[in-house]
Chains A and B, each alone.
Chain A
């Protein structure tokens, strides 16, 4: 399968200047990052605050451009200004705060805003709006006012707005940070469904470890570098290493790890409740 994101040695620096424009300090936000994401993948990016995750995400959507190295999105070079529009249609972004992303006073108009802006014919816009709202389970709310929706519902409308641009890839930067537990689940299952049913590539940035257990691949960032990568099971088997990097593991994985330390013979990298129950039941029947 082809690569939708191919980053080679990308570097990005934030430069601080004083009032006279003299350089006061340079912060390297991305330091020689390599990243491959295959079409149809569900990728999660973890890392402490300030590790470079959001800077990387903004590169994939050409909001920022690398100062060094190359980044190809669906084969298009993000440094080529002529490709910027095409790249933004290929890779859509969803941000943390749903209230900052919704602009219209009716749900269906909000979702239609993107396609309308790029001159899609009206009939086609309505088809896209309907399809996108259905894909996130919000079609029933199409005539509602967005400000009467819950956080999880607003965030799903924001995702539908991106879907209406027919992207191949969707990048979500902490989409659940402001939501209650059920809102979080609603958004996560909508995103998983887009990935599984529509084959959309998903790049999810999050601080909730539980949200990443179904990813194909996890990248862990620190100080602008990718320091670990692997499947969730590989990554979450390295509990102590993750803790050193200011991260943690899903609560179930942590419980399994604590039980193992207490002498129970459990496999490494248990990710879900079901896996833990099965392992503990086996243990109890052999005792």
Chain B
């Protein structure tokens, strides 16, 4: 199972003075169970790209194949695609609207046509998956903390049993512990439920820690598509497009320049520590 994106182009307001090419010649192959990060400065095309992956936006040209089927084929069921490819928007807690947490999470599966009982089973399973405490299942979602609200919003998407989970900046505005909890949870979901995860993030430190493959967007195109280590080795080019490497990568380069013979590939605190200890101890 996979997603294949072939020569995808998207133009906003074509034929007008406001015409903007938001995506250009995107080619991607996403395999089952991958943990992918997408980074890029504001306006680089990240959000436009992920909205194509579940058919919310239709490409101007090019194609998308989900498990071998062309999603632009006449008669292709886009509704089902949207449940298979779950999209968690930025600040998803702003989209909570029901009177209880349980009702909010049940909303998606009920829309899929499940009856009350099945919807509740799904809701309980996904609330457990996001480690949401059972005693608050029937509280109003509006009285929860920011981190808890976000868990409920993610559970709402999980309850539709997606095969691919796309999260657009899921940690923006959360404190460091909330940040780690959400990312650990997503990482767990991928391991235990074999979900493919695509994480859009402005935090270079977060993507370095969690993802296996990192896609860098710039000007609507893909600039790099590689391991985080390989991508962050281009830290100078990244700075030119509004991005950076994690702080520790800069430390490693500065150490090498100062004559300490370290390998400069580290992108996380743990990797940097191991390398410095190896050289200095």
Contacts and interface: CB of A to CB of B under 8 A. Distances in A.
A228 interface: no
Given A273-B250, A287-B280, A181 B204 contact: yes
A252 B280 contact: no
A247 B176 contact: yes
A156 to B, nearest CB: 13
Contacts of A207: 173-176, 179
B280 A49 contact: no
A178 B259 CA distance: 38
A83 interface: no
Interface in B111-163: 143, 145-147
Interface string A7-49: 0000000001000000000000000000000000000000111
B198 interface: no
A56 to B, nearest CB: 15
A150 B248 contact: no
Interface in A178-208: 178-184, 207
Nearest to B169: A178
A184 to B, nearest CB: 8
Interface string A231-250: 00000000000000011101
B276 A280 contact: yes
Contacts of A182: 41, 239, 242-244
B260 A49 contact: no
Contact of A258 (B146, B269, B280): B269
B258 A277 contact: yes
A150 B175 contact: no
Given A49-B174, A247-B176, A284-B260, A179 B251 contact: no
A177 interface: yes
B241 to A, nearest CB: 8
Contacts of B172: 177-178
Contact of A280 (B145, B146, B169, B280): B280
Nearest to A207: B175
Contacts of A181: 202, 204, 242-244
A122 interface: no
Contacts of A180: 40-42, 202, 242-243
Nearest to B173: A177
A16 B142 CA distance: 12
A248 B176 contact: yes
A255 B244 contact: no
Given A48-B177, A182-B239, A252 B248 contact: yes
Contacts of B173: 49, 96, 174, 177-178, 207
Interface of B: 40-43, 143, 145-147, 169, 172-179, 202, 204-205, 239, 242-244, 246-248, 250-251, 254-255, 258-260, 269-270, 272-273, 276-277, 279-281
Given A179-B42, A259-B277, 12 more contacts: A150-B42, A150-B242, A177-B173, A178-B169, A178-B173, A181-B243, A184-B202, A247-B175, A250-B247, A258-B270, A264-B281, A273-B250
